[in-house]
């Protein structure tokens, strides 16, 4: 994890405060942005389906 990730984690937590993302979700979002990953496998697709990423309009969520 890098300093930029920590800043982005905080930004995500603030931007989506109403959604009550947990720390792990915010970490995954920040690292996916830094690594330019657009597809995220998750059991909680609601969380990632509302996030607007810095490198792609939305994260792709594979079918559950």
- Give 27-58 as a DSSP string: HHHHHHHHTT--B---S-HHHHHTPPPSSSSS
Give this prediction's pTM.
0.76
pLDDT for res 10: 93
61 lies in a domain? no
Domain count, the chain: 1
Question: What is the domain extent for residue 24?
Answer: 3-49
Dump pLDDT digits (tens) for 8-64. 999 989 988 888 788 898 898 899 989 999 888 888 777 777 877 777 777 888 875
d(CA 40, CA 3): 22
Instruction: Give the per-residue pLDDT at 2.
Output: 79
> Does residue 59 form part of some domain?
no
Q: Would you say residue 7 lies in a domain?
A: yes
């Amino acid at each position: 994890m890098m300093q930029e990730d920590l800043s982005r984690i905080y930004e995500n937590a603030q931007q989506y405060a109403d959604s009550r993302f947990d720390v792990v979700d915010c970490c995954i979002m920040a690292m996916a942005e830094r690594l330019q990953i657009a597809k995220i496998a998750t059991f909680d697709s609601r969380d990632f389906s509302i996030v607007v990423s810095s490198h792609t309009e939305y994260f792709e969520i594979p079918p559950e």
